[in-house]
Structure 1
Amino acid sequence: MRSTTGYQDAMEFPRFIFNPKEGIDNPALVIADDPEPDHSPVPRLCQLKRLEGQSFGFYLRVVKDGRGFEIRDVESWSPAEHSGLREGDRVLEVNDEYVDNMDFYRVVRKIQSCDLHLFLLVLRREEYEQALCVGVDLQTLATATKGDCYSRPRLCHISRHPEHGLGMTIISVEGQKGQHIVSTMTDGPAERAGVHSGDRLIWINGVMVSTLTHSSLNRTLKKSADSVTVLVIDSGSECCYIRRKMPILPVVAECCSLPHTAKTMHLVKGCDGYGFLLRQEKLSVTRRIVHVLREVDVGSPAEGAGMEDGDLLLAVNGEPVESMEHDDIVKRIRQSGDKVSLIAISIPGRDFYRQLSISPLLFHEEFTDCVPDQTGTFTTQLSQRTNDAFL
């Protein structure tokens, strides 16, 4: 019988006798190094949502003697503060598009055109500067936050074919309420518009499909006599958005051939002025105030630039004016002197984008590429500091 006092004799360990001839090459003496901790900075995704006519509540500034764009003067209780945006944050992406190497004015225009939703990927100032010092590729860093399967959603406009219809079938995902996938006809209208078989259907004619039953979704399709506009995404990318807790909205989408686009008109004042009347009107259905171009004179600079009676005015000298007061818009035009640049959209275009609940400026490249005019006019809320814009 063995004694059980002292230690349990549960297992025996092999004895190791140190041999000085083997030195530290003895395998028993090898100690593995601890892995180096990963000190790579992790960007933050800030989701801002404002009300109609409300600002996001922050200044965007070009960093002096350096690169990048810095967040300044975040207002208390604003959408910016609520999103977690902080003083000194550096902006890497706007609405899922890398902007650190873009022109400042183009970045501001992108923010101004995004309507009510804004997504900013940011780094803290210290992390940003440290990343630059050690040669981190910031674009690669931003992309790494999304996942390998990531691609942006697609906003596609599908015109109905007399024989093939829309060229797609919507299938409900079994066991997942409000989830639908799309099956497309090869080389059919939907496929040519940018929809792929197996895509998740997110949004149709301005309505989130997750709020629709399958029968109401079919009724929506039948009501769309000539065309339909859908927001779709592949399943892998959808998972990336879900993981990031980021809603899939048109503001982050790629545009696939929408039927109506805004137009930019450059007017040079004639002896009788520009030759049009700007009127403030109230829409009968929504009661919304809009600014409409009326009474375009025959042979006037306005007619020569492509203006048509009833066009909705969107911007003056690259500055959005839809939410401005009528007198302020008139003042901006008069301050332009003998030249003015106007962005407008036709009545059918206005109705199309209103149905989709997005701004016509969202996919208007000439707007985002706009630069200040010769007078330095850029936005109504530029601060006195150089290259600061209130958004």
Structure 2
Amino acid sequence: MAGYKPRVISLTKRSGQTFGFFLRVEQGEEGHLIRCLEMGSPAELAGMKDGDRILRVNGTFVDELSHSEVVELVRNSGASVTFHILDETSYKQAKAQGVKLCDPQTTAVANGVSKQAPKPKLCYLVRSSSGYGFSLRSVKGELGLFMTEVIPGGVADRAGVRINDRLLEINGENLESATHDQAVDMIKSAGSSIMFLLVDAETDKYYQNKHKVGAWFATTKYLPHKPRIVEMTKGPDGYGFLLKEGTKQKGHFITEVDRGSPAEKAGLMVKDRVVAVDGHNVDSRDHDQVVDRIKQSGNKCMLLVVDKDTDQIFTQGNVSPMIFWEETKDSLLPPSYTEAVNAPAVVRPATPPQEKEEELKPKLCKMEKSSAGFGFHLNGIQGVCGQYIKEVVKGSVADRAGLEDDDIVVEVNGVNVETSNHDEVVALIRASGSSLEMLVASKSVYDQLKAKGVTITRHLLGETSYVQVHASATPEDDRQEEDMHETPAEPKRERTPSVSSSSSQDSMDERL
């Protein structure tokens, strides 16, 4: 069952106690389903999820047994039972692919590490003044369109496109049977940005004769903007945010985040759209159903959210942000029994209670250009505000000054550039000569400060001094690019006054 790794969960209950879940078979659904998990029960604490399928009970494969037989196996286990469980999405995919779930070799292993099935990739490109930086190749008499002449450092290269990748979709539209000219026309008519679904040679070979490859299997790791998973623990006054169902735009949106609330501390932001609650997609749910789902979470809640830029990218690609959840959820689950027993103990140094708050500061980096330059890329979209740092060369002047990938540029030589376009920022850097001073902030710090309505200046540094780096003899690259592809950081959001729950014909609000 390569590519599908069941979780091993061992439960123990006290006398008179249940394991804390319902085992069900449902019309239209395959398998033995976990439902109605009780908060704080052995099942919930062990990491069982609603919709999980039970594959084995104490080592016995049960997927093909009747409901009563599985119930009897669990009851006969007494106070302790061990399950092999597969999540809902993986189970359905495995069934669709004809995978033998009874195979005891649950996953391919190499050197003790699980080998996952290769994935197609989503690549988002924003055209520069010189184009996308690739060509399409096709072979007469053969199906398939392939990437070629990918310019190193160009738009396509930075978006994850590689030579000989096969093109499957453009903006969610399949073109595996399209001609070369048809594909070129689609790319030209797409406008200034485009989403590709691609497979490299290894992935292409893996899926041959298995099943149709689609975006639902794809990795999102190459996308410039990704959904966020927000984990919150309820405080005395709730989670501290306001949820509103959109009218002109479909979806459930965050309209307020209280200062100092669990929601703010977890990184929830105004205008975020809620895609899922505890792994359950809520796009098709109404306001009351989403609120009920959040309330059912108890004292802890996990939201999958997208900001405006991320939402636009996934909409353009005609793909659900849920694929990000599916790709990352394994890292969020509790370890299996075996993993927990064999995991080394983690020693964590004591952390001052206010350390996180104290880190909400920008960085002032002063650099003296070496013979090889500063050693970083400046990314952005030409003509659009918002610039950030990318590809800092290790050991370069920029690296030693403290610049890091994805740092957002706030000031250049004392001039605020948050509302400046790419060309204007490049001009300021070039005009600085051999000395450059930049005020930057990591994306996390930038977003949190903006969410609080804080103006980012060097005054936030207090008495913290900057790192001064002089010219170095180490070879480096001066790489300030003018045709980057990511969208700018979000503009400052104004906080609205706190209001109580209300509803109207146009929208519905409820504080959580």
What one-letter code is carried by the residue in structure 1 that aligns with 2:168? I
What CA distance in whole angstroms lies between the structure 1 residues aligned with 2:92 and 2:304? 13
Residue 201 of structure 1 aligns with which residue?
167
What one-letter code is carried by the residue in structure 1 that aligns with 2:209? R
Give the Å deviation of 1:64: 0.9
Give the Å deviation of 1:215: 4.2
Residue 331 of structure 2 aligns with which residue?
369
Q: For residues 198-250 of structure 1, what are the alpha-carbon distances to aligned partners after superposition, in whole Å with 9 as ceiling and x for unaligned?
A: 33211122111236554443343234555432122245754653433x21212
Give the Å deviation of 1:181: 1.9
What CA distance in whole angstroms lies between the structure 1 residues aligned with 2:95 and 2:149? 32
Equivalent of residue 147 in structure 2, options 160, 168, 182: 182
Residue 63 of structure 2 aligns with which residue?
70
Give the Å deviation of 1:61: 0.9
Residue 452 of structure 2 aligns with which residue?
none
Equivalent of residue 155 in structure 1, options 122, 132, 143: 122
What does 1:39-78 align with in structure 2 at a 5 Å threshold? Answer: 57-59=30-32, 60-66=53-59, 70=63
Give the Å deviation of 1:170: 1.3
What CA distance in whole angstroms lies between the structure 1 residues aligned with 2:127 and 2:92? 29
Give the Å deviation of 1:361: 2.3
Residue 183 of structure 2 aligns with which residue?
217
| 8 Å Cα contact 2:150-2:162 kept in structure 1 | no
What does 1:1-391 align with in structure 2 at a 5 Å threshold? Answer: 57-59=30-32, 60-66=53-59, 70=63, 104=85, 107-108=86-87, 110-111=89-90, 119-123=96-100, 125=102, 128=103, 132=104, 139=107, 152-163=119-130, 165-176=131-142, 179-189=144-154, 190-210=156-176, 212-234=178-200, 238=204, 241-244=207-210, 246-282=211-247, 289-364=250-325, 365-371=327-333
Give the Å deviation of 1:69: 7.9
Residues 243/301 of structure 1: CA separation in 2 closer, same or farther (3 Å cut)? closer
- Long gaps (5+) in structure 1: 1-41, 44-53, 75-86, 88-101, 142-149, 373-391
What CA distance in whole angstroms lies between the structure 2 residues aligned with 1:192 and 1:264? 25
Residues 200/236 of structure 1: CA separation in 2 closer, same or farther (3 Å cut)? same
What CA distance in whole angstroms lies between the structure 1 residues aligned with 2:157 and 2:221? 11
- Long gaps (5+) in structure 2: 3-26, 33-52, 71-82, 110-116, 335-512
Residues 305/240 of structure 1: CA separation in 2 closer, same or farther (3 Å cut)? closer
What CA distance in whole angstroms lies between the structure 1 residues aligned with 2:106 and 2:90? 20
Give 3-state SS (helix, strand or coil) of 2:146's partner: strand
Give the Å deviation of 1:339: 3.5
Give the Å deviation of 1:168: 0.8
What one-letter code is carried by the residue in structure 2 that aligns with 1:123? K
Alignment RMSD: 4.1
Give 3-state SS (helix, strand or coil) of 1:331's partner: helix
What CA distance in whole angstroms lies between the structure 2 residues aligned with 1:313 and 1:301? 16
Give the Å deviation of 1:169: 0.4
Residues 168/360 of structure 1: CA separation in 2 closer, same or farther (3 Å cut)? same
Give 3-state SS (helix, strand or coil) of 2:194's partner: strand
| 8 Å Cα contact 1:58-1:72 kept in structure 2 | no
What one-letter code is carried by the residue in structure 2 that aligns with 1:61? I
What one-letter code is carried by the residue in structure 1 that aligns with 2:99? V
Task: Provide the TM-score with structure 2 as the length reference.
Answer: 0.44
Residues 371/154 of structure 1: CA separation in 2 closer, same or farther (3 Å cut)? closer
What CA distance in whole angstroms lies between the structure 2 residues aligned with 1:58 and 1:206? 31
| 8 Å Cα contact 1:193-1:256 kept in structure 2 | no
Give 3-state SS (helix, strand or coil) of 1:266's partner: strand
Q: For residues 63-120 of structure 1, what are the alpha-carbon distances to aligned partners after superposition, in whole Å with 9 as ceiling and x for unaligned?
A: 111177836779xxxxxxxxxxxx9xxxxxxxxxxxxxx983xx41654998xx9744
What one-letter code is carried by the residue in structure 2 that aligns with 1:322? D
Relative contact order higher in (CA < 8 Å, ≥ 6 apart): 1
Q: For residues 325-383 of structure 1, what are the alpha-carbon distances to aligned partners after superposition, in whole Å with 9 as ceiling and x for unaligned?
A: 432321232233443322211122122212222221212344343448xxxxxxxxxxx
| Larger-gyration structure (1/2) | 1
Identity between Structure 1 and Structure 2 (%): 29
What CA distance in whole angstroms lies between the structure 2 residues aligned with 1:152 and 1:337? 35
Residue 15 of structure 1 aligns with which residue?
none
Give 3-state SS (helix, strand or coil) of 2:294's partner: helix
Q: For residues 245-264 of structure 1, what are the alpha-carbon distances to aligned partners after superposition, in whole Å with 9 as ceiling and x for unaligned?
A: x2121223344411221212
Residues 124/185 of structure 1: CA separation in 2 closer, same or farther (3 Å cut)? closer
Residues 336/208 of structure 1: CA separation in 2 closer, same or farther (3 Å cut)? closer
| 8 Å Cα contact 1:113-1:361 kept in structure 2 | no
What CA distance in whole angstroms lies between the structure 1 residues aligned with 2:203 and 2:106? 21
What CA distance in whole angstroms lies between the structure 1 residues aligned with 2:91 and 2:58? 26
| 8 Å Cα contact 1:353-1:360 kept in structure 2 | yes
Residues 119/269 of structure 1: CA separation in 2 closer, same or farther (3 Å cut)? same
| 8 Å Cα contact 1:158-1:193 kept in structure 2 | yes
Count of aligned residue pairs for this structure pair: 268
Give 3-state SS (helix, strand or coil) of 1:309's partner: coil
What one-letter code is carried by the residue in structure 2 that aligns with 1:194? G
| 8 Å Cα contact 1:193-1:257 kept in structure 2 | yes
Residues 217/72 of structure 1: CA separation in 2 closer, same or farther (3 Å cut)? farther
Residues 211/346 of structure 1: CA separation in 2 closer, same or farther (3 Å cut)? farther
Give the Å deviation of 1:58: 4.0
What CA distance in whole angstroms lies between the structure 1 residues aligned with 2:66 and 2:251? 31
Task: Provide the TM-score with structure 1 as the length reference.
Answer: 0.55
